[in-house]
Amino acid sequence: MAFTLEPLPYAYNALEPHIDARTMEIHHGKHHAAYTTNLNNAIAGTDLENLSIEEVMIKGFDRMPVRNNGGGFYNHNLFWDILTPGGAKAPSGELAAAIDAAYGSFDAFKEEFTKAATTRFGSGWAWLCAHKGGKVEVCSSANQDNPLMPGIGCGGAPILGIDVWEHAYYLHYQNRRPDYIGAFFNVINWDKVAARYAAAK
């Protein structure tokens, strides 16, 4: 069964002024669509067909172009899911407690996450991951790699991620990646991140 590109759960302009409509339209309708098509083409007729996307990422890890497009498909699904217009400023409950336990405070976590996203050279992602047992950890990965892949990043399950490829911000922010990362914090759906945390820990 082929993977499908799901529509966004909000309008392309819903995240403005933090992420502009044109960027969202091209990012979802062109980039994510291409990863989806290329992933389906790459696994068609192979032993990776009919597996879950998580299984494809792990089992197809050392096969290009499965790794790039499987990661691209999964990472963008996560990204759209954890964004929302009018997001809360910070998490609450057990996720907030886990972040405080790991980093001391939400502001200190935000600094660490921002540093990971800012210093990821070239194209990639920064993540907040949850380990079994409940510990959370910030890391980053190159290209479309994902922490579920063996030997990439934190090794936990990603529960929050930011795409720092230029295609995610260049139309509006040009070279100002730090401004885009700051704006990202205004549109995080912390309820979704908390649900991912509860499922992963």
Which residue ranges make up the site for Mn ion (CB under 5 A)?
163, 165
Choice between 73 and 165, CB closer to Mn ion? 165
Which position's Cβ is nearest Mn ion?
A: 163
Choice between 109 and 165, CB closer to Mn ion? 165
Smallest separation (angstroms) from Mn ion to the CB of 93? 29
Choice between 165 and 197, CB closer to Mn ion? 165
The CA distances from residue 27 to 56, 80, 157, 184, 187, in Å, are 23, 10, 24, 15, 16
Q: CA gyration radius for the chain?
A: 16
Smallest separation (angstroms) from Mn ion to the CB of 58? 21
Smallest separation (angstroms) from Mn ion to the CB of 144? 8
Smallest separation (angstroms) from Mn ion to the CB of 62? 23
Q: How many residues does the chain have?
A: 201
Residue 35, SS3 per DSSP: helix
Smallest separation (angstroms) from Mn ion to the CB of 130? 22
3-state secondary structure 138-183: EEEEECCCCCCCCCCCCCCEEEEEEECCHHHCHHHHCCCHHHHHHH
CA distance 134 to 71: 24
Choice between 40 and 68, CB closer to Mn ion? 68
Smallest separation (angstroms) from Mn ion to the CB of 76? 6
Contact (Cβ atoms closer than 8 angstroms) between residue 130 and residue 146? no
Choice between 78 and 157, CB closer to Mn ion? 78
Burial class (CB in 10 A: 0-12, 13-18, 19+), 45: exposed
Choice between 120 and 201, CB closer to Mn ion? 120
Q: What share of the chain is helix, strand, coil (3-state, %, to 5)?
A: 50, 10, 40
